[in-house]
Chain A
Amino acid sequence: MRQEVIDALEGIVGKGNCRVDAAARRQHGYTDTALPEAVLYPGDSQQVAALMKLAAREGIPVVPWGAGTMAWHGLLPLTGGLAVNLTRMNRVIEYDYENMTAYVEAGVSLKDLRAALKTHNLYWPVEPVEADTCTVGGCIAAGAAGPSKLGYGDVKFHILGLEVVLPGGEIIRTGGKTVKNVQDYDNTRFLAGSWGALGIITKAMLKLRPVPEKETTLFLPFKELGAAIAAARTIRNETLPLALELLDRAAVATMAGAGFDAGGKGCGILVTYNGFSEQVDAQVDFVQKQFSAASILTGEKAAAAWQARRQIYPAFTGQKGAIMISVSLPFTALEEFLTRARAELDQGPQGAAVVAHFGNAHVHILLDEAPAAYAGVQEVVNRLATLAGNLGGLLVVDNIDDLTLARRWVEARGQAIMELLRRVKAAFDPQLIMAPNSKVLAYALAGTRAAS
């Protein structure tokens, strides 16, 4: 990047907020070598707009950053370009507790947000892996969710409007402050999960919920996976849990190392109910009557169990890293998939843990192999992918840079889909500077300037 461009960027964001040093670049990098050329820390939306205009004029790729927690999940390695770190934009602009909304800057951390909301007993039900450091903007861009996705849905269900800076430098508002609002196309939800590919989210109107009167978590131990699956099915069908997780033996063991020791050696179910006391009591009572081994996690134990659940991936991977596989299935195919996949994994040399957001029919398989060594396990992954496909499901590998399976899935949506995606991208980003490494569009842009 030319020095005069760096100088101009520094002129926009101020001295000290345009960094080209190795530490800052590494912090916003993907690998040891795939690093941005400069990291910018804008202080407001106008600065974001100004730097976007400059980047568009110069044809420099721009990738927005929050805490960077999820970058490995949604972005391919990219060398060069600008990382735009939004964590200086961290104000809660308006907390309208009476209307249960908060208007915040994108860089506010979930921890600071929680603290601000606590004064009026409301919360924002998005609890990703790093429930403290993650930024609101990052959660929205990443389409984040926590265990309560079953009851409340992912982040797109918890935002009402956005302020977005388009690559042309326009600052646009989407949605608004009311739940019912059809005055524009729903770009608010469209941008949720867009991984920076369309624009930079600078502000968000959050839809908040009252902290429920009661919340109860139960753990159900099982010796055999089959029994756990059958129980989870009953629980999903007969009660309306907020969260319902199925954990195989390896997952339960991993959680023991992450702060929740279930005491046994089998698999388990973690289920949470919330709401009014009588209703929660009735739901819990149902589960305890059906499954005598179910125990209520009291005091700090419930939070510890969920924290351990969120930490399964880092706890399982250790230093080497692990391959993370996601499978989405028809609910009714879960039993067959889980049973056969576990048997398949037991045949192989790699350790593997299986956890399912059971109510969402979304399975995670952690494979004890470094992502760089993906080629070595490709055969078993392909067999699992075929199994999922035959059951009407889809398998993708989350943390490798190979988009073959995803591309195939999207191509099957129709011949016209890639062309449509390119036109939509151009409506936001005619210069194609926004996050060309964003997995959600990289396969559609292949061959265009953005991907090169």
Chain B
Amino acid sequence: MVDQTTMGELTRIAGKENVFTTRVSLNTYMYDASLVYGQPEVIVYVQNADQIAAILKLASAKKLPVTPRGGGTCLSGGAVPQRGGIVIVMTKMNRILEIDPENRVAVVEPGVTNMELQKAVAPYGLVYMPDPASQKVSTMGGNLGENSGGMRGIKYGLTKDHIIGMELVLSNGETVQIGGKLEPIAPELNLNALIIGSEGNLGIATKIICKLTPAPKANRTMLASYNTLEDAGTSVSAIIAHGIIPCTLELMDNKIINAVEDWLHIGLPVDAGAILLIEVDGWDAGLDRQAQQIMAICRENGATDVKLAQNAQERDNLWTARRMAIGAIGRLAPNYDMEDATVPRTKLPEILKEVGRLSQEYNVPIGMLAHAGDGNLHPLVLFDERNKEEMERVEKVRAALFRKALDLGGTLSGEHGIGLAKLDFMAWAFNKEELQFLRRERLAFDPHDILNAGKTVPDTAA
């Protein structure tokens, strides 16, 4: 419980103008992009690391829950203050501190959005590779916390492959430097690995050191249409089996195609059961042959039509279609739930089929997007949250989907995290000893169990 003394302390630390307790403010910070809610007691906009350290010292001493928050686009409840307490909003810490082109590193504050960083490094011919669909809004601190993926993940990896260091405030308010700009050579443990993707459980990053990559010199973008999702899924494995690793291999089903086309009118094949958006990049030399090979493989595996984008406009249209897909789905139902269960690539056709079956069995419409090259599904389950009976069916679909993904050797979450939304399923993915170990590990960083507590790892594990 945040009492008056604490409130006074917070005001002293962050300034009156940065502390909010009105009902409207508190309600605004109840949610993220998932379906879980929880009301905080106070919102604090921080401006520097010292303020964060002071707040955490205070919260630690008083055992108050603290929820760090960036853009609030988390899809698993990572930014939801389900235990009340303090929400620390990072978006005012939004400076790009350093871009060092020849050393190919950038240092940013956590409130910088992914897109702001992309734009800042582009003039140097560099790219920060992770590109979550939320990149216009989602912050680098949030990306770090969730180990965000994106469309280019299959070739270029995830956030954990591109963040090499950070300044981290621990839950007791102490600050440590993790990793750094240099190639690591000292005999020491790689704490970056634990922090990235820890969903804000293990500390709050106040500076982030990012690895930059020279922009690929050229690309070829293709669109393949199929009668069925399974055919598209089979093509995905076939392409990679030929030794070609595209930078993008995105799948959309008929529902999504139509939702996007109705909105954007960019000429998508509305009769197709599924499409694959495929891009290869790198040196210009050889890309034509790779593209031809891919198109041939698609045709061999049942593609009814395969097109190569002929110019930048055509390419942009295809990308717009993919990036707008989730927004377009918003036109179909009041709510959606987007899961990210992930399976080994060759199991894609099987799980795609299962999703179709579940949709029928439970009479719940599901649109299917997937970072197909990674076996990373994004089924969008459509419903109206106010309809309780429908919600029960939605929950059953979710559970069945997770069960199937795990049975196929996959994971509950490829990139959105466990948070609150998948916490109940952790016992399916891990045994008791594993959960107890993860809990011990969490408490090693946060002994008072205040920092985004009650998420990721069930409390009951200990």
**In the complex, which residues of chain B have a beta carbon less than 8 angstroms from the beta carbon of A188?**
193
Contact of A328 among B154, B183, B434, B440 (CB under 8 A): B183
Are the C-beta atoms of B176 and A182 separated by less than 8 Å? Answer: no
The contact sample of 29 A-B pairs, CB cut-off 8 A, is: A98-B345, A157-B161, A172-B434, A177-B409, A179-B154, A179-B157, A182-B147, A182-B417, A183-B412, A183-B413, A185-B456, A192-B193, A210-B243, A211-B243, A275-B286, A278-B285, A279-B285, A282-B283, A282-B284, A328-B183, A328-B184, A393-B182, A413-B176, A414-B177, A420-B445, A426-B444, A427-B440, A439-B187, A440-B187
Chain B proximity of A451: nearest CB distance (Å)? 14
Complex Cα spacing A415 to B169, Å? 12
Q: Which of A171, A197, A210, A403 has the most CB of B within 10 A?
A: A210
Are the C-beta atoms of B190 and A178 separated by less than 8 Å? Answer: no
Q: Which of B176, B181, B240 has the most CB of A within 10 A?
A: B176
Closest residue of chain B to A278, judged by CB? B286
Are the C-beta atoms of A181 and B434 separated by less than 8 Å? Answer: no
Complex Cα spacing A440 to B185, Å? 11
Closest residue of chain B to A286, judged by CB? B283
Beta-carbon contacts under 8 Å, B301-329 to A: none
Chain A proximity of B273: nearest CB distance (Å)? 23
Chain A proximity of B439: nearest CB distance (Å)? 9
Closest residue of chain A to B371, judged by CB? A180
Residues 132-160 of B, flagged 1 when their CB comes within 8 A of A and 0 if not, give 00000000000000110100011001101
- The reply to whether the CB of B235 lies closer than 8 angstroms to some CB of chain A is no
- The reply to whether the CB of A293 lies closer than 8 angstroms to some CB of chain B is no
Are the C-beta atoms of A178 and B343 separated by less than 8 Å? Answer: yes
Are the C-beta atoms of B183 and A414 separated by less than 8 Å? Answer: no
Residues 77-101 of A, flagged 1 when their CB comes within 8 A of B and 0 if not, give 0000000000000000000101111
Q: Which stretch, A10-18, A59-67, A329-337, A376-384, touches the partner chain B?
A: A329-337
Beyond contacts A170-B437, A406-B187, A440-B189: 19 other A-B pairs, Cβ-Cβ < 8 A, are: A99-B344, A100-B240, A177-B409, A177-B410, A178-B410, A181-B342, A181-B411, A182-B146, A183-B430, A185-B194, A275-B282, A394-B186, A403-B187, A406-B186, A409-B188, A413-B176, A426-B444, A427-B440, A441-B189
Residues 172-216 of B, flagged 1 when their CB comes within 8 A of A and 0 if not, give 101111100111111111110110111000100000000000100
Complex Cα spacing A409 to B344, Å? 41
- The reply to whether the CB of B241 lies closer than 8 angstroms to some CB of chain A is yes
- The reply to whether the CB of A300 lies closer than 8 angstroms to some CB of chain B is no
Are the C-beta atoms of B103 and A156 separated by less than 8 Å? Answer: no
**In the complex, which residues of chain A have a beta carbon less than 8 angstroms from the beta carbon of B286?**
275-279, 282
Are the C-beta atoms of A362 and B283 separated by less than 8 Å? Answer: no
Are the C-beta atoms of A182 and B174 separated by less than 8 Å? Answer: no
Are the C-beta atoms of B149 and A180 separated by less than 8 Å? Answer: yes
**In the complex, which residues of chain A have a beta carbon less than 8 angstroms from the beta carbon of B284?**
282
Given A182-B414, A396-B187 in contact, is the A427-B196 Cβ separation under 8 Å? no
- The reply to whether the CB of B170 lies closer than 8 angstroms to some CB of chain A is yes
Beta-carbon contacts under 8 Å, B267-295 to A: 282-286, 289-290
Chain B proximity of A398: nearest CB distance (Å)? 8
Chain B proximity of A60: nearest CB distance (Å)? 22
Contact of B187 among A74, A172, A192 (CB under 8 A): A74
Q: Which of A96, A121, A176, A187 has the most CB of B within 10 A?
A: A176
Are the C-beta atoms of B193 and A361 separated by less than 8 Å? Answer: no
Given A186-B147, A193-B190 in contact, is the A176-B411 Cβ separation under 8 Å? yes
Are the C-beta atoms of B182 and A330 separated by less than 8 Å? Answer: yes
- The reply to whether the CB of B102 lies closer than 8 angstroms to some CB of chain A is yes
Residues 163-207 of A, flagged 1 when their CB comes within 8 A of B and 0 if not, give 000100011110011111111111111101111010000000000
Complex Cα spacing A129 to B160, Å? 27
**In the complex, which residues of chain B have a beta carbon less than 8 angstroms from the beta carbon of A281?**
285
**In the complex, which residues of chain B have a beta carbon less than 8 angstroms from the beta carbon of A440?**
187-189
- The reply to whether the CB of B332 lies closer than 8 angstroms to some CB of chain A is no
Given A156-B190, A181-B342 in contact, is the A416-B172 Cβ separation under 8 Å? yes
Complex Cα spacing A46 to B181, Å? 41
Chain B proximity of A176: nearest CB distance (Å)? 5
Chain B proximity of A179: nearest CB distance (Å)? 6
Are the C-beta atoms of A332 and B197 separated by less than 8 Å? Answer: no
Are the C-beta atoms of A423 and B374 separated by less than 8 Å? Answer: no
Closest residue of chain B to A149, judged by CB? B183
Beta-carbon contacts under 8 Å, A360-379 to B: 360-362
Beta-carbon contacts under 8 Å, A395-452 to B: 396, 403, 406, 409-410, 412-417, 420-421, 423-424, 426-428, 439-441
Contact of B160 among A189, A213, A277 (CB under 8 A): A189
Complex Cα spacing A143 to B433, Å? 26
**In the complex, which residues of chain B have a beta carbon less than 8 angstroms from the beta carbon of A292?**
none
Complex Cα spacing A229 to B280, Å? 33
The count of chain A contact residues (Cβ–Cβ below 8 Å) is 85
Closest residue of chain A to B422, judged by CB? A183
- The reply to whether the CB of A326 lies closer than 8 angstroms to some CB of chain B is yes
Residues 418-462 of B, flagged 1 when their CB comes within 8 A of A and 0 if not, give 100010001001100110111011111101000000001000000
**In the complex, which residues of chain A have a beta carbon less than 8 angstroms from the beta carbon of B440?**
427
- The reply to whether the CB of A237 lies closer than 8 angstroms to some CB of chain B is yes
Complex Cα spacing A381 to B390, Å? 71
Complex Cα spacing A99 to B409, Å? 11
- The reply to whether the CB of A45 lies closer than 8 angstroms to some CB of chain B is no
**In the complex, which residues of chain B have a beta carbon less than 8 angstroms from the beta carbon of A173?**
430, 434
Q: Which of B100, B345, B426 has the most CB of A within 10 A?
A: B345
Are the C-beta atoms of A394 and B375 separated by less than 8 Å? Answer: no
**In the complex, which residues of chain B have a beta carbon less than 8 angstroms from the beta carbon of A328?**
182-185
**In the complex, which residues of chain A have a beta carbon less than 8 angstroms from the beta carbon of B412?**
183
Q: Which of B147, B184, B193, B430 has the most CB of A within 10 A?
A: B193
Are the C-beta atoms of A186 and B187 separated by less than 8 Å? Answer: no
Closest residue of chain B to A426, judged by CB? B444
Complex Cα spacing A406 to B184, Å? 11
- The reply to whether the CB of B416 lies closer than 8 angstroms to some CB of chain A is yes
Complex Cα spacing A47 to B239, Å? 42
Beta-carbon contacts under 8 Å, B337-387 to A: 340, 342-346, 371, 374-376
- The reply to whether the CB of B39 lies closer than 8 angstroms to some CB of chain A is no
- The reply to whether the CB of B104 lies closer than 8 angstroms to some CB of chain A is yes
Complex Cα spacing A166 to B437, Å? 9
**In the complex, which residues of chain A have a beta carbon less than 8 angstroms from the beta carbon of B426?**
183
Are the C-beta atoms of B193 and A416 separated by less than 8 Å? Answer: no
- The reply to whether the CB of B415 lies closer than 8 angstroms to some CB of chain A is yes
**In the complex, which residues of chain B have a beta carbon less than 8 angstroms from the beta carbon of A329?**
182
Closest residue of chain A to B214, judged by CB? A240
Contact of B374 among A166, A179, A184 (CB under 8 A): A179
Residues 231-264 of B, flagged 1 when their CB comes within 8 A of A and 0 if not, give 0000001001101010000000000000000000
**In the complex, which residues of chain A have a beta carbon less than 8 angstroms from the beta carbon of B185?**
326-328, 362, 394, 396
Are the C-beta atoms of A176 and B409 separated by less than 8 Å? Answer: yes
**In the complex, which residues of chain A have a beta carbon less than 8 angstroms from the beta carbon of B282?**
275, 279
Are the C-beta atoms of B411 and A178 separated by less than 8 Å? Answer: yes
**In the complex, which residues of chain A have a beta carbon less than 8 angstroms from the beta carbon of B177?**
412-414
Chain B proximity of A62: nearest CB distance (Å)? 18
Are the C-beta atoms of A182 and B154 separated by less than 8 Å? Answer: no
Complex Cα spacing A403 to B186, Å? 10
Closest residue of chain A to B405, judged by CB? A178
- The reply to whether the CB of A272 lies closer than 8 angstroms to some CB of chain B is no
Are the C-beta atoms of B437 and A179 separated by less than 8 Å? Answer: no
Chain A proximity of B137: nearest CB distance (Å)? 20
Chain A proximity of B59: nearest CB distance (Å)? 16
Contact of B375 among A178, A332, A361, A403 (CB under 8 A): A178
Contact of A414 among B176, B187, B344 (CB under 8 A): B176
Given A414-B176, A416-B170, A416-B175 in contact, is the A424-B414 Cβ separation under 8 Å? no
Chain B proximity of A402: nearest CB distance (Å)? 12
Closest residue of chain A to B158, judged by CB? A180
Chain A proximity of B46: nearest CB distance (Å)? 19
Chain B proximity of A161: nearest CB distance (Å)? 10
**In the complex, which residues of chain B have a beta carbon less than 8 angstroms from the beta carbon of A415?**
174
Closest residue of chain B to A171, judged by CB? B433
Q: Which of A211, A330, A406, A413 has the most CB of B within 10 A?
A: A413
Beta-carbon contacts under 8 Å, B95-135 to A: 100, 102-104
